Amino acid sequence: MRPVLSAVLLSVLLYINPVLANEELSCIQEYKASTSLDSAARSQISVSEIKNQIADKLPPDSRIGRVYISRLPIFDESNPTENKALYRWANRFHVLTKTDTIQEELLFRSGEAYDSRTIEESARLLRNAGYLYDAVIIPVSHCNGVTDVEVITQDVWSFTPEVNVDRSGGNNNFGISLRESNLFGSGRLASISHKKDIDRVSTKIAYEDRNIQGTRVAARIAITDADDGSSGSARIRLPFYSLDSKRAWDIRINRVERTETQYLKGEKVTETDHKIDEYQMSYGVSRGLVGKVTKRWLAGYTYRDDRFSPGDALPTPAIPTTGKRLSYPFIHYQSLEDDYTTAFNIDQIYRTEDLHLGHNFNFRIGYAATEFGSDRDRAIIATSFSDTLLYEEKILLRHFFSLNSLWNFETERDEDLIAQYEMRYFHSQTSLRSFFASISATYTHNLNSNQQVVLGGATGARGFVNRFQTGDRRLLLTLEERQYTNWHILNLVRPGFALFLDAGRVWQPGVNQNLENKYLVDAG
């Protein structure tokens, strides 16, 4: 399986697609010199380079002509290393993504004006759909003001039975699942899983359709049965599926019953049963992409009822948990900058990754009044911001901030305030080695007693037991030296390694946890 879609694929496509190969010579003569390379030469040139060679010569008033959809299987049977019985069987067993499924993701149609930005965003939508290994879209010919484009996709193995056994933070975790992320080549997801972790033993069934009948309407339903309760959620929505989308709507239902446990030095000390009923609907409008920024406004209504009761196995927290009923209208504003690029070996190995380099700002405010059915008059505030501070050929520096809080007008103080900030640094040292660093801070105030800020094996300090430190604020530093490999086990798995150092602390002023060391430091 190819690590990236290279120009070699184009030579294969021209061979198997006589329509492209026999295109009228007079119309594409100016591009023949740059695209009719032999296979050996093409293997050294990326798709983006060939795309730019053609796109740079297109006149500004060009229109889209024919749209060719070329679907590549999981394994390349023309490659001797992949032309084996196992890989041929996998290609036959796997249902190739349907042409209609790919076509319905595209933001352009034949006859429309050729817009390189829309072409690039369509490729990004395909890559982020979750059922493809990679996707590129390139212009392949131009004649009399009409540009034909080629959509090239490569499927990924989508049926994944998994058995996971690991030990993290002193706890054994086990999971088994069946997941199909491209059901019958439709892009739909269906999964069933069973897992045991530090919190519970649970079985979950989920189904999702991201683009129902090509309408852009998405739906998801999930049901979970656990040893401490159950949960069910359903959602149907029309998202702002592109930067130029003009409207969106969302309806969701979420019901949860679970036991929440509080910890001290990694040991369970108290617990409370928590029931949640939540319903939300919203409608949004936008002028679309104006310049380099999309601005969106949403209005909606949320009803959420949190109820608590004593657990069965442990005592309740010393400070009793407080139930809340919030019923409120809200307004949401988003500003999203159109600034994207692609990279490799950032968070995945040998995969095209789409990085959003621009800003993403969100702000939501609501008012929960007793007249609307709330138990108290409260304001609900939520905001987040992310942006790129530095981006060069081998360096990426980004930061993220979020704040969520309630304001109780009766007590005149905040409730459940959570503020978080993180900065991430990435430096590509060689094609097979990189350095990653992250520093993050969390501050909370007046949290309900069922909630804790924790640090341990599964939350940033990999060498310690889970939830070893607890409090209301946290500092964490993570350093990693990542090593990638050229190994491609069974042409399916690309292993990588990392040396890491974690250093952090969770604490609460005035509370002595009687720990030998205030900071947790580990390496591995």
The per-residue pLDDT for range 263-296, each reduced to its tens digit, is: 988 889 999 999 999 999 999 999 999 999 999 9
At 308 the three-state DSSP class reads: strand
Helix H segments across 215-328?
none
Provide the pLDDT for residue 329.
99
Identify the H or E element spanning 504. Answer: strand 496-507
What angle in degrees, to the nearest 10, is found between the helix axes of 8-16 and 47-55? 70
What angle in degrees, to the nearest 10, is found between the helix axes of 47-55 and 25-35? 140
Please list the residues that pair with 284 across neighbouring strands: 248, 298
Rounded CA gap, 490 and 365, in Å? 51
pLDDT tens digits, 102-152: 999 999 999 999 999 999 999 999 999 989 999 999 998 888 889 999 999
pLDDT tens digits, 241-266: 999 999 999 999 999 999 999 998 88
- Angle 67-71-76 from CA coordinates, rounded to 5°: 145
Please list the residues that pair with 179 across neighbouring strands: 160, 191
Q: In terms of pLDDT, which residue wins out, 44 or 175?
A: 175
Provide the pLDDT for residue 36.
29
Instruction: Indicate the pLDDT class of residue 31, thresholds 50, 70 and 90.
Output: very low
The answer to whether residue 169 scores a pLDDT higher than 70 is no
Rounded CA gap, 343 and 354, in Å? 7
Please, which residues have CB within 8 angstroms of residue 309's CB and are 6 or more apart in sequence?
Answer: 272, 273, 275
Per the structure block, which two tokens stand in for 348?
A: 């995945």
Per the structure block, which two tokens stand in for 326?
A: 């919030």
Provide the pLDDT for residue 301.
99
Structural domains in the chain, sorted by start: 8-155 (3.10.20.310), 158-238 (3.30.1300), 239-523 (no CATH)
At 419 the three-state DSSP class reads: strand
Q: In terms of pLDDT, which residue wins out, 182 or 432?
A: 182
Please, which residues have CB within 8 angstroms of residue 344's CB and are 6 or more apart in sequence?
Answer: 3, 4, 350, 351, 352, 353
Tokens 């530095």 found at: 390
The answer to whether residue 10 scores a pLDDT higher than 70 is no
Rounded CA gap, 429 and 124, in Å? 26
Please, which residues have CB within 8 angstroms of residue 130's CB and are 6 or more apart in sequence?
Answer: 181, 187, 189, 210
Q: What is the DSSP string of 128-184?
A: TTSSEEEEEEEEEEEETTEEEEEEEEEE---EEEEEEEEEETTEEEEEEEEEESSGG
Per the structure block, which two tokens stand in for 417?
A: 């305030």
Provide the pLDDT for residue 167.
64
Rounded CA gap, 177 and 196, in Å? 12
Provide the pLDDT for residue 260.
93
CA distances from 368 to 105, 327, 375, 413, 453 (A): 38, 5, 9, 15, 26
Contact 361, 385 (CB under 8 A): yes
- 146-155/63-72 β-pairing: parallel
Please list the residues that pair with 67 across neighbouring strands: 149
Instruction: Indicate the pLDDT class of residue 29, thresholds 50, 70 and 90.
Output: very low
Rounded CA gap, 132 and 145, in Å? 32
Contact 96, 185 (CB under 8 A): yes
Q: Is 346 left (phi over 0), alpha (psi -120 to 50) or beta?
A: alpha
Contact 19, 28 (CB under 8 A): no
The answer to whether residue 8 scores a pLDDT higher than 70 is no
Rounded CA gap, 147 and 141, in Å? 6
Which of 54-58, 147-151, 452-456 comes out lowest in average pLDDT? 54-58
Tokens 């036959």 found at: 92
State which of 61-65, 104-108, 170-174 shows the largest mean pLDDT: 104-108
Q: Is 479 left (phi over 0), alpha (psi -120 to 50) or beta?
A: beta
Rounded CA gap, 275 and 229, in Å? 9
Q: In terms of pLDDT, which residue wins out, 318 or 172?
A: 318
Instruction: Indicate the pLDDT class of residue 56, thresholds 50, 70 and 90.
Output: low
At 90 the three-state DSSP class reads: helix
Provide the pLDDT for residue 53.
61
Provide the pLDDT for residue 168.
61
Residue spans of beta strands (DSSP E) within 291-312: 293-310
Span 388-412, mean pLDDT?
Answer: 96
Span 153-162, mean pLDDT?
Answer: 88
The answer to whether residue 21 scores a pLDDT higher than 50 is no
Provide the pLDDT for residue 23.
42
The answer to whether residue 12 scores a pLDDT higher than 80 is no
Instruction: Indicate the pLDDT class of residue 82, thresholds 50, 70 and 90.
Output: confident
Tokens 């409260």 found at: 378
Q: What percent of the chain has pLDDT over 90?
A: 62
At 96 the three-state DSSP class reads: coil
State which of 38-52, 325-339, 430-444, 451-465 shows the largest mean pLDDT: 325-339
The whole-chain average pLDDT of the chain stands at: 87
- pTM equals 0.87
Q: In terms of pLDDT, which residue wins out, 46 or 469?
A: 469
